Amino acid sequence: MPEDPHSKSSKYTADRGMPGAFEGETVTRRRFMSAVTHGAGGIAAASFGLPALGFAIGPVFKRTQWPWQIIGRPEDFVETVYSTKIVTMVQGIGDAGKTVAYVRKRDPAIDTEPHDQYNNYIALWNRCMHLGCPVRYVQAAERFICPCHGGIYNFRGQVAGGPPVRPLDRFYTYSPPPGERGHGYVYLGPPYAVNSELQRLSLRDPAQPLDGIGQYFYPPQFDTAKVPSLQHLPLPPTVPGT
């Protein structure tokens, strides 16, 4: 009976009767060659596959730069009415990069969330917390109303009805005190998310709740912008002849 070439009786190829086997050889040259060929193919594929994959998923790990931008002077804003400010979210893509902030002065009588230097002006983002349609502020009702699926928010941006899962996102605002760089202007910073208590939390997409059991399902994104430094606030361009 011919000997089975694959029998595992010995780990040495010479013992297994391989033609041309070397003394002490355990891997046949044929197997070694095919392993090297597969390895080389794998390295070649990985050398273009991995960079391409990293290129495609890189944006997930990107951190956003969010400079302070001037949205007006302190006297432009009152406590009882929101003014509409068009702000640039993404540079260089025209209208598609613009969005709307609704801004008013903080009213200590109703704005019961903790007060600090970043919320002397309340700035709400018009992005609906159901699925991201643009909400509209209706002064007569003192409500924010979403055109898509009937989401309604009260004057402070808290959900008053419909499918939204959390209050409207807000922007950091800053108005430098007298003597500081930028005094006399109101600046708008990066957006942040709030839960139903209006606690400040890192930004996330619409439809991701920040209360109840839902808050545990959505890890914060990597891309959350940091509050930029107050040292180099941009100043408005000087008007010639003044």
Partner 1 sequence: MAIIGSRGRTTAPLPPAQSDELTRPEAAAEAGLTVVNWIDERAQLSQGLRWMMFRKVPKGINWAYTLGSATMFAFLNQAVTGVFLAMYYRPSVTGGAYQSTRNIIDNVFLGQFVLSMHLYGAYLMIVLIFLHMARVFFFGAYKYPRELSWIIGVVLLILTLAMGFTGYLLPFDQRSYWATIVGVNINGTAPFLGPYISDFLRGGPEFGATTLSRFYAIHMMLIPGLMAALIGFHLYLVMKLGISAPPWLKAQEPEVAIEKVEV
Which of residues 72, 163, 176, 228 is near ligand FES by CB under 6 A?
A: 163
When CB distances are held under 5 to 8 angstroms depending on the partner's kind, the choice from ligand FES, partner 1, none that residue 28 binds is none
Size of the site for ligand FES (CB under 6 A): 13
Residue type, 151: G
Instruction: Please return the burial class of 228, using the count of CB atoms within 10 Å of its CB with bins 0-12, 13-18 and 19+.
Output: middle
- Alpha-carbon span 73 to 28, nearest angstrom: 81
Binding residues for partner 1, total number by CB under 8 A: 33
Binding of ligand FES at residue 71 (CB under 6 A)? no
Would you state the structure tokens that stand for residue 130, as one six-digit string? 């159901």
166 binds ligand FES (CB under 6 A): no
Q: Is 208 in the site for partner 1 (CB under 8 A)?
A: yes
The partner in contact with residue 223, picked from ligand FES, partner 1, none with C-beta cut-offs of 5 to 8 angstroms by kind, is partner 1
Tell me: does residue 149 bind ligand FES (CB under 6 A). yes
- When the beta carbons of 51 and 161 are compared against ligand FES, the nearer one is 161
By CB under 8 A, residue 240 contacts partner 1: no
Strand partners, 104: 122
Please report how close the Cβ of residue 129 comes to ligand FES at its closest, in angstroms: 7
128 binds ligand FES (CB under 6 A): yes
- CA trace torsion 71, 76, 78, 82 (10° rounding): -50
Output the smallest distance, CB 155 to partner 1, in A: 25
Stretch that binds ligand FES, among 3-11, 47-55, 143-151, 194-202 (CB under 6 A): 143-151
> Does 220 engage in binding with partner 1 (CB under 8 A)?
yes
User: 19, 24, 92, 179: which one contacts partner 1 (CB under 8 A)?
Assistant: 92
Q: How far is the CB of 69 from partner 1 (least distance, A)?
A: 15
CA distance 176 to 183: 5
One of 219, 237, 240, 241 touching partner 1 (CB under 8 A): 219
**b/e for 143-156, b at 16 or more Cβ within 10 A?**
bbbbeeeebbbbbb
Residue 18 interacts with ligand FES (CB under 6 A): yes or no: no
Look-up: residue for tokens 């808290």?
Answer: 158
Residues 6+ apart with CB under 8 A from 187: 68, 69, 70, 71, 173, 174, 175, 176, 233
Binding site for ligand FES (CB under 6 A): 128, 130-133, 146, 148-151, 162-164
